[in-house]
Structure 1
Amino acid sequence: MIRISQEHLQTIHTHAESTYPDECCGIILGYMASEGKTVVEVMPTENVWDTEAAAEFPGDRTTESKKRQYAIAPQVMLQAQREARDRSLNIIGIFHSHPDHPAIPSECDRLYAWQGYSYIIVTVQNGKAGELGSWSLDHHHQFQAEAIEIIPNL
């Protein structure tokens, strides 16, 4: 389960709508406890997917665009890790949008996902954020739906 405030969900929706028709992306900071993950901050980031980013992945992904792919710059991930550590938090997940597609993980999402993270995906239909889901990898590297609990703003 992932616990998240309405304010954080609104930040995700706003970022997704602002980058449409491209995918948005961002980092989720929080902590893990026995009842699941709790979001403390969502950090919208720039989608830096380009042919250089595509070259880092196996297969021919150079024809893909920001409309169907996302990448977070490594230096942004490192900075987020430092900030999380300094605040006694962890990176607990990643969020991104699926412009004009359902809020379910793609095969590419699955191939490059990291164990232990939550992956929040929001659909954006014609520029308007809609359905949102959270997913995490099981021990067989397959996505499983993750319950979302709305909590009061922290």
Structure 2
Amino acid sequence: MSILTISSEQIQLICTHAEQTYPQECCGLLMGEINENNHKITVEIIPTENAWNSETAKTFEEVETTDIPVTSERRFTISPQQMIQAQKQGRDRNLIIIGIYHSHPDHPAIPSEFDRVCAWSDYSYIIISVEKGKTTDLQNWSLDQNHQFQAEPLIRD
């Protein structure tokens, strides 16, 4: 199992982003490196726009886990353009995307079934619970060999 290291300043940046976007879900990228022990080290946080809208909802219809209409208050997506831009900028500095963060407004910091279905196996997933506009919890997750989320150790540097 891997471990994610992140600084207190980076956590504060993520929490501030989550509170500023409430009641919508916020999202962003964790840029960093992975050492020989499969230890992920966060070097930079890139807040991104939540690109969820009615068009992206149609894109995800096949994997949607509920029949009720969902909005950016319950879903997030990062545009392919933002992902590519981050990968290019990271490559110039020997950094890669090591994870994604997003908030759960007025819900626990536990991955949803939709989060699981859409997750990528190599990434860490930080989820921030924001209750009534204030961050109340932050948890880190990663997928196991069976594509199920497991708590991933988080070291606050």
TM interval, shorter chain, is over 0.9
What count of residue pairs does the alignment treat as equivalent? 151
Residue in 2 aligned with 1:10? Answer: 12
TM, length-normalised to structure 2? 0.93
- Give the CA deviation at 1:36: 1.1
SS in structure 1 of the partner of residue 125 of structure 2: strand
In 1, distance between residues paired with 2:99 and 2:115?
13
List runs of 5+ in structure 1 lacking aligned partners: none
Q: 1:43 aligns with which of 30, 41, 46?
A: 46
Asked if the contact 2:63–2:114 (Cα under 8 Å) also holds between the matched residues in 1, the reply is: no
Residue in 2 aligned with 1:52? Answer: 55
In 1, distance between residues paired with 2:11 and 2:63?
33
RMSD: 1.3
1:130-141 to 2 correspondences below 5 Å = 130-141=136-147
Determine what percentage of the aligned residue pairs are the same residue.
52
SS in structure 1 of the partner of residue 83 of structure 2: helix
List runs of 5+ in structure 2 lacking aligned partners: none
In 2, distance between residues paired with 1:139 and 1:111?
14
SS in structure 1 of the partner of residue 140 of structure 2: strand
In 1, distance between residues paired with 2:38 and 2:81?
31
- Give the CA deviation at 1:51: 1.0
TM, length-normalised to structure 1? 0.95
- Give the CA deviation at 1:59: 5.2
In 1, distance between residues paired with 2:105 and 2:84?
27
Moved over 6 A (4+): none
1:103-142 to 2 correspondences below 5 Å = 103-142=109-148
